Amino acid sequence: MQSTPQTPTRTTALLLTAIGVGIAGDLFIPGGPWRAGFVLWMAVVAIAALGLRPNRERTTLILGAAIAAAGLAWRDAEMLFQIDLLSTLCMGALVAWHGTGHRLRELTVVQSARAAVIGVVTLATGAPAALRDGAEHSATRGALARRLRALAIGIVLAIPPLTLVAGLLSESDQRFEAYIVDIHRLLTTTAIHHLLTTAFVSWLALGWLRSATRDRVSTIVPEIRSPGLPFLTVSVGLSSMVALLALYLTTQAQALFGGAEHLLATVGLTPAEYARSGFAEMIVASIIVVTTLVLAEWLLRDDETERQWFGVIGGVLVVEVAALLLSAIVRMRLYIGEFGLTGGRVLAVAIMVLVAAALGVVLTTLPRKQSARFAPRMLGVTIGWVALLNLVNPEAIVVRTNLARAAEGGTFDVAYHATLSGDAVAVLAEEAGRLPAPTCATLATALTAHWAKRVAESSGDWRSEGVSSRRARAWYAAGGWLPCREEGAAQ
């Protein structure tokens, strides 16, 4: 694809657009949590970038970044905030990577890591490069430089006499002195703060917009090519991984299917206590194995026979990781049955779902002719995963699951549920009546106290709030009522 011409007119449009984005950033991005204000700013960024007419693929990525940011203003849970913010940054980094001349079909695991570096480098160094692009095509850049230099000298020469005269006049009239003091306060506090914020955001936006709207932008981040290793080299690590997982799965079968007596006799734990230990490590290990398999495919040289052998050993690894995930699911069922559900445990299950989806993508792309499609397909799967997390509302699942356990005689952790985010308040306000009356009354007191503290500590700035948090605040303002049953009512 031919490079987009960077004329002085286009550079001026790019610079003015970046300044507009910077002003919007100063208006919409608060110092507190990035919620509604940040989403509005991302909408401005997307509109500004689309106005500079990027190509079709980059348009999709820009819109994807704006949609990913929408979750920040929708949900209130800290877990979802981190996932949505990371998704927004990743989509923005892919835009910058795409601007270096790549296409989505060329995306690999290694290129994904490279995209993150390119995104950071683009934000830091893209602005001077954008200005240089226009200067290189400007026939009047010498005259412009002379005018800017003359203006700067004039400003420097004007400051001393203006300062002296203003000081003398201030001494002669108290009202004028009050005006000068107010102007000084404005320039040294509010105005300077807004100016610096606008300048900083404009600087970042200028470099990113350059990559978002121009093809084949040069970057200092080098390309990384596959070393083309022989299968013998790659097979050492993969074969060792196969043997290690086989040994581990054998112990898991003995522990999980040997019964409670076997666990007490061998490790001194009940099934629930055993399930509680090592769960996170199993999930991380599964992610590492899948990542190792994908990197091994990238390292392997392009030989038909060797790639067939890789497909065999890779298939064995996929089956073992699937068995590892099954073992983790069994542990999680035991764990939840004994201790209940939390947001962290929902996230752990969600990560298991994502790893299982990655296994499915590996199986469909492991053959030689399909391997290059892993990263683009995995990108689509991950986008769907993030969207699904926001749709299902993990904290609502936590509340409903634990209320059901409590209705069947299980314990209910009032202190934990009272400190959940605004995502849980609506469900509690509707279904807390399923709890025993004393527990419900205690929950109502604790939940009201938590939101009283949160309201008192907040700035009240709408830019730092989202939909769920505003609904929770409205619930608190209306009296913080929960549908608790009367003492002695039928359970």
Number of domains into which the chain is organized: 3
Q: Where are the beta strands (DSSP E) in 19-72?
A: none
- Whose tokens are 């913080």? That residue is 480
Provide DSSP, 211-242: HHHSSS---SSPP-----B-HHHHHHHHHHHH
Task: Note whether 78 and 215 are same-domain residues.
Answer: yes
- Domain end, chosen from 343, 360, 392, is at 392
Cβ(119)–Cβ(99) below 8 Å: no
Asked if residue 37 belongs to a domain, the reply is: yes
Task: Note whether 98 and 178 are same-domain residues.
Answer: yes
Report pLDDT for 275: 57
Residues 6+ apart with CB under 8 A from 54: 62, 212, 213
Provide DSSP, 115-137: HHHHHHHHHHHHHHHHHHHHHHT
- Domain end, chosen from 355, 376, 392, is at 392
Task: Note whether 81 and 202 are same-domain residues.
Answer: yes
Task: Note whether 285 and 184 are same-domain residues.
Answer: no
- Whose tokens are 């602005």? That residue is 127
Report pLDDT for 145: 58
Asked if residue 319 belongs to a domain, the reply is: yes
Asked if residue 297 belongs to a domain, the reply is: yes
Asked if residue 296 belongs to a domain, the reply is: yes
DSSP run (H or E) holding 58: helix 56-74
Report pLDDT for 256: 56
Asked if residue 161 belongs to a domain, the reply is: no
Does this model's pTM top 0.85? My answer is no
Cβ(95)–Cβ(65) below 8 Å: yes
- CB-side neighbour CA atoms (13 Å) of 107: 24
Report pLDDT for 264: 46
Task: Note whether 247 and 187 are same-domain residues.
Answer: no
Report pLDDT for 214: 80
Task: Note whether 381 and 346 are same-domain residues.
Answer: yes
Task: Note whether 202 and 282 are same-domain residues.
Answer: no
Asked if residue 384 belongs to a domain, the reply is: yes
**Residues 324-368: tens digit of each pLDDT:** 888 888 778 777 877 888 998 899 899 999 999 999 998 888 765
Which residues of the chain carry a pLDDT beneath 70?
Answer: 1-8, 133-149, 152, 184-189, 254-278, 367-371, 487-491
Report pLDDT for 280: 78
Task: Note whether 349 and 414 are same-domain residues.
Answer: no
Alpha helices by DSSP H, 393-477:
394-407, 414-418, 422-431, 437-457, 467-477
Task: Note whether 214 and 283 are same-domain residues.
Answer: no
Asked if residue 148 belongs to a domain, the reply is: no
Neighbouring-strand partners of residue 447: none
Task: Note whether 69 and 120 are same-domain residues.
Answer: yes
Report pLDDT for 2: 42
**Residues 112-167: tens digit of each pLDDT:** 999 999 999 999 888 888 777 665 555 455 565 566 567 767 777 777 787 788 77
Report pLDDT for 369: 60
Neighbours of 236 (CB within 10 A): 10
**Stated length of the chain:** 491
Task: Note whether 288 and 364 are same-domain residues.
Answer: yes
* Domain of 43, in residue numbers: 1-143+172-225
- Domain end, chosen from 374, 392, 410, is at 392
Task: Note whether 52 and 117 are same-domain residues.
Answer: yes
Asked if residue 162 belongs to a domain, the reply is: no
